[in-house]
Amino acid sequence: MEARGEREDAILSVRNLNKVYGEPEHVAQAIRLIEQGASKEEVRATTGAVVGVRDVSFDVYRGEFFVIMGLSGSGKSTLARCLIRLVEPTTGAILIDGEDIARADQKSLREVRRTKLAMVFQHYGLLPHKTVYENVEYGLRTRGVKEEERREAALAAIERVGLAGWEESRPGSLSGGMQQRVGLARALAHNPSILLMDEPFSGLDPLIRRDMQDEFAALRAEEAITTIFVTHDLDEALKLGDRIAIMRDGEIIQIATPAELVTNPADDYVARFVEGASPARYMTAAQLMEHEIPTIPLGASITEATEYFNDRNVSAAFVVNDQNQLAGVLTWWAVAKRSGGTVADHLAPAATTSPTTRLEDIVPLAVESDHPVAVVGEDNQLIGAVRRLDLLQTLAQELEDDGLNGRGEELSSNGYAPTADQSELEAQINRTAIGD
Question: Applying CB under 8 A, does 127 fall inside the site for other proteins?
Answer: yes
CB of residue 142 to other proteins, shortest distance in Å: 5
For the chain, count helices (H), then strands (E): 20, 16
Q: State which residue, 127 or 363, has the beta carbon closest to other proteins.
A: 127
Stretch that binds other proteins, among 49-57, 116-124, 250-258, 301-309 (CB under 8 A): 116-124
Q: State which residue, 187 or 212, has the beta carbon closest to other proteins.
A: 187
Q: State which residue, 124 or 318, has the beta carbon closest to other proteins.
A: 124
Question: Applying CB under 8 A, does 119 fall inside the site for other proteins?
Answer: yes
Question: Applying CB under 8 A, does 114 fall inside the site for other proteins?
Answer: yes
CB of residue 172 to other proteins, shortest distance in Å: 5
End-to-end CA distance of the chain: 45
Stretch that binds other proteins, among 19-27, 29-37, 126-134, 412-420 (CB under 8 A): 126-134
Q: State which residue, 190 or 358, has the beta carbon closest to other proteins.
A: 190
Question: Applying CB under 8 A, does 431 fall inside the site for other proteins?
Answer: no
CB of residue 55 to other proteins, shortest distance in Å: 25
Q: How many residues sit close enough to other proteins to count as binding (CB under 8 A)?
A: 28
Which amino acid is present at 22? G
CA–CA gap between residue 209 and residue 230 (Å, rounded): 14
CA–CA gap between residue 263 and residue 392 (Å, rounded): 19
3-state secondary structure 206-259: HHHHHHHHHHHHHHHHHCCCEEEEEECCHHHHHHHCCEEEEEECCEEEEEECHH
Q: Are 232 and 199 in contact (CB under 8 A)?
A: yes
Question: Applying CB under 8 A, does 126 fall inside the site for other proteins?
Answer: yes
3-state secondary structure of 389: helix
CB of residue 151 to other proteins, shortest distance in Å: 17
CB of residue 163 to other proteins, shortest distance in Å: 17
Question: Applying CB under 8 A, does 139 fall inside the site for other proteins?
Answer: yes
Question: Applying CB under 8 A, does 340 fall inside the site for other proteins?
Answer: no
DSSP string, 331-363: EHHHHTT--SSBGGGG-BPPPEE-TT-BHHHHH
Question: Applying CB under 8 A, does 104 fall inside the site for other proteins?
Answer: no
Q: For residue 198, how many other CB atoms are within 10 A of its CB? A: 24
Question: Applying CB under 8 A, does 32 fall inside the site for other proteins?
Answer: no
DSSP summary character for residue 27? H
Q: Are 386 and 308 in contact (CB under 8 A)?
A: no
3-state secondary structure of 183: helix
CB of residue 154 to other proteins, shortest distance in Å: 13
CB of residue 193 to other proteins, shortest distance in Å: 14
Q: Are 102 and 94 in contact (CB under 8 A)?
A: yes
CB of residue 91 to other proteins, shortest distance in Å: 22
| Per-residue b or e along 45-56, where b marks 16 or more CB atoms closer than 10 Å to that residue's CB | eebebbbbbbbb
| Per-residue b or e along 92-108, where b marks 16 or more CB atoms closer than 10 Å to that residue's CB | bebbbeeeebbebeeee
CB of residue 135 to other proteins, shortest distance in Å: 9
Residues in CB range of 176: below 8 A, 6 or more apart: 124, 203, 204, 205, 208
Stretch that binds other proteins, among 30-38, 119-127, 292-300, 419-427 (CB under 8 A): 119-127
CB of residue 138 to other proteins, shortest distance in Å: 6
| Binding to other proteins, residues 162-221 (CB under 8 A) | 170, 172, 186, 190
Question: Applying CB under 8 A, does 37 fall inside the site for other proteins?
Answer: no
Stretch that binds other proteins, among 68-76, 136-144, 384-392, 428-436 (CB under 8 A): 136-144
| Binding to other proteins, residues 63-92 (CB under 8 A) | 84, 86
Q: State which residue, 112 or 293, has the beta carbon closest to other proteins.
A: 112
Closest CA to 159 of 182, 140, 175, 141: 182
Residue of 125, 203, 294, 418 interacting with other proteins (CB under 8 A): 125
CB of residue 342 to other proteins, shortest distance in Å: 55
Stretch that binds other proteins, among 92-100, 125-133, 261-269, 351-359 (CB under 8 A): 125-133
CA–CA gap between residue 143 and residue 146 (Å, rounded): 9
CA–CA gap between residue 162 and residue 156 (Å, rounded): 10
Closest CA to 229 of 202, 269, 191, 204: 202
Binding interface with other proteins (CB under 8 A): 84, 86, 110-115, 117-119, 121, 123-129, 138-139, 141-143, 170, 172, 186, 190
